[in-house]
Chain A
Amino acid sequence: MNLAVRDLRHNLLRFVLTGIGLGGLLGIVVVMVGIYKGALDDALRLPRASSPDLWVVQPLTKGPFAEPSRIPRDTRDLVRRIPGVAQTGAVTFQTLQAAANGKPLRIYLQGYEPGRLGGPSALIDGHGITQSHYQMVADMSSGLHLGDRVPLGPYGDRYTVVGLTKGMVNSGGDPIAWVTLLDAQAIQFDVAPPLQRRERAAGRSPLVTADINAVLVQLQPGVATAAVAQQIERWKHLSAVTEKQEEDYVTAFVISKMQKQIGMFLAILIVVSAVIIALIIYTLTMDKMRSIATLKLVGAPDRTIVGLIVQQALALGVSGFGLGVALTATFKDFFPRRVLMEPADLAILFAIVVVICLLASALSVRAAVTVDPAKALAG
């Protein structure tokens, strides 16, 4: 006969209400982990989607995502001529605050050269950029649709959405959009007519630049990445970063603060969960201390008493965790950030919850196994 189940059934309402509360708390833990994993996945999407063997960036910088990098545009041709290099592509990145369809629109704009590395992959609708100017491919999370026209740049030039991708966002959760490199440079560096007039009046030429942020490099099969990187870095004004290093920079620098913040939140939430489980189990145990004394008096072994308490703690923790996961799975799409629930993370969290339950029940177990059976005889 399972005493834990019988007792829980007897106190079902109390158990259910406690489980719901705990489920909500553990649901927040699952969401926090999911948000971090979602942010990490988002941050790595762009570097992984481009999938170059090397990123050529400004020396002493951590690539185009961790910190700004500016290199001359002719770098692409320079690198292309290195033996073993199959393809190259010049890219720029910038975050823009625009408006479309009467709503504010925040996008992470990538400039690239159509036909070269760095363009959008896996379009779900429409087509890629086919003209030199004023076309755009956008991620559907931006809310843009095919045919939408988005004003960008100092002249408010209208860019028509010709293609859509899915799930392409940056580390901040902003949707990514692609335009041609020339358009991206114009949007970034062109100055508005009043400022042009002021600059000319002052005897200065208006600011015009053709700088890019990075060059993506794809090597021919069998060519050693390190050897090409070494060759690139002989030019002191360039630095070469492998795909793995780029991902490490993103993980270590771009979202490290978020990792620490969420880690701190998680630690607090887990401690609070442990305290709540301990408190609930301790209260449940104290409520039936006379029953426990009676069980000991009639000869129940310690393992029966310990089983009663630990099973209840585990039942509470596991059902709370299950509810938390179910709530998160149900409502994750309503979160403003992507919540990524990975089986491995859930398995680790489950193990943590089990350990918490065991630790939380320790106090109750101690109180129960040390209770004097003679207490059952007290009037």
Chain B
Amino acid sequence: MPDLVDLNALVELRAVSKHFGEDDRRVDALADITMSIFSGEVVGLVGPSGSGKTTLLNVIGCITEPSSGWMRLNGDVVYDERWLRRDLRRLRLEKIGFIFQTHNLLPFLTASENVMEVLELAGASSAAARSRAAGLLDYLQVGSRGSHMPAQLSGGEAQRVAIARALANEPKIILADEPTAPLDSERAGIVMDLLRRIASEQRAAIVCVTHDEAIFDRFDRIFQLRDGRLVSKSTTLASRSRRRFAD
């Protein structure tokens, strides 16, 4: 591991590259990415299609192993020889929450069972999982919809249930892939406010891939990618305002 380590960072990537294929077919999806993400902040990953946003999200989410470079998550270096596939799965279960562009709720489980399933996978008893799922759904104001199947929920409700599922195991980091894409601007704003609240109340970092410029001001920092490279990182006006307010 290189000697440049930010001990305060929840997620730290150093010189991370990822390519697919070899020789003539080689595609460099990520090149020399170095970045840190801290607890409690909401970070945006933006860039045109094919810029490497989703690949970067997959690397941070312990799904795709980088070709070179290293990553540290909550103090542990990920993707060295010690980590087996099942360890990465365990890491995802316990430390990472995922929110998808489409809610990706399991269609054969009720809203409540979708949240319970993640808890039970982590070892919670059925009763404990039921209780925590009910609490989370109440927290996200969809408690009354717990017994409904995903197909019976509106887009906004389904996305809230998906957020509840992402929060179930109190993850350190939540990765959101275009979470507001299927929502109108009003509902998109509500979801982003919710994510902000979660970051603040649960001290979780939120990394959000988006094309939606209307929500850029909801991020503390924005990382812009182009052709697999980090071309800029900026602190948003909203973040500066929040900091001034805090000071």
Contacts and interface: CB of A to CB of B under 8 A. Distances in A.
Contact of B106 (A9, A11, A295, A373): A295
A122 interface: no
Given A1-B126, A299-B121, A300-B121, A373 B90 contact: no
Contact of A3 (B58, B104, B117, B165): B117
B121 A376 contact: no
Contact of A1 (B91, B120, B122): B120
Interface in A1-42: 1, 3, 6-7, 9-11
Contacts of B100: 294, 376-377
Interface string B69-91: 00000000000000000100111
B113 A6 contact: yes
A297 B120 contact: no
A10 B149 CA distance: 10
A348 interface: no
Q: Which of A297, A304, A373 has the most CB of B within 10 A?
A: A297
B192 to A, nearest CB: 19
B101 to A, nearest CB: 5
B150 to A, nearest CB: 10
A290 B68 CA distance: 29
A291 B165 CA distance: 14
Interface string A321-332: 000000000000
Contacts of B113: 1, 6
A379 interface: yes
Interface in B85-120: 86, 89-94, 98, 100-102, 104, 106-109, 113, 116-118, 120
A301 interface: yes
Contacts of A78: none
A377 B58 contact: yes
Contact of A299 (B89, B106, B126): B89
A376 B58 CA distance: 11
Interface string A367-379: 0000011101101
B231 interface: no
A296 interface: yes
Contact of A376 (B91, B104, B149): B104
Contacts of B181: 379
Contacts of B177: 377, 379
Nearest to A300: B121
B46 to A, nearest CB: 16
A7 B93 CA distance: 22
B32 interface: no
Contact of A294 (B94, B106, B108): B106
Contacts of A9: 108
A295 B89 CA distance: 10
A362 B224 CA distance: 44
B63 interface: yes
Given A1-B113, A374-B64, A377-B54, A299 B122 contact: yes
Contacts of A372: 63
Contact of B121 (A6, A291, A298): A298
Nearest to A8: B108
A290 B104 contact: yes
A180 B64 CA distance: 89
A118 B2 CA distance: 98
B79 to A, nearest CB: 15
Nearest to B90: A299
B33 interface: no
A304 B121 contact: yes
A1 B108 CA distance: 12
Interface of A: 1, 3, 6-7, 9-11, 288, 290-291, 294-301, 304, 372-374, 376-377, 379
6 contacts: A1-B117, A9-B108, A10-B107, A291-B108, A297-B92, A300-B121
Given A297-B61, A377-B58, 18 more contacts: A1-B120, A9-B108, A288-B108, A291-B104, A291-B106, A291-B107, A294-B104, A299-B91, A299-B94, A299-B118, A300-B89, A300-B93, A304-B121, A372-B63, A374-B58, A377-B100, A379-B102, A379-B181
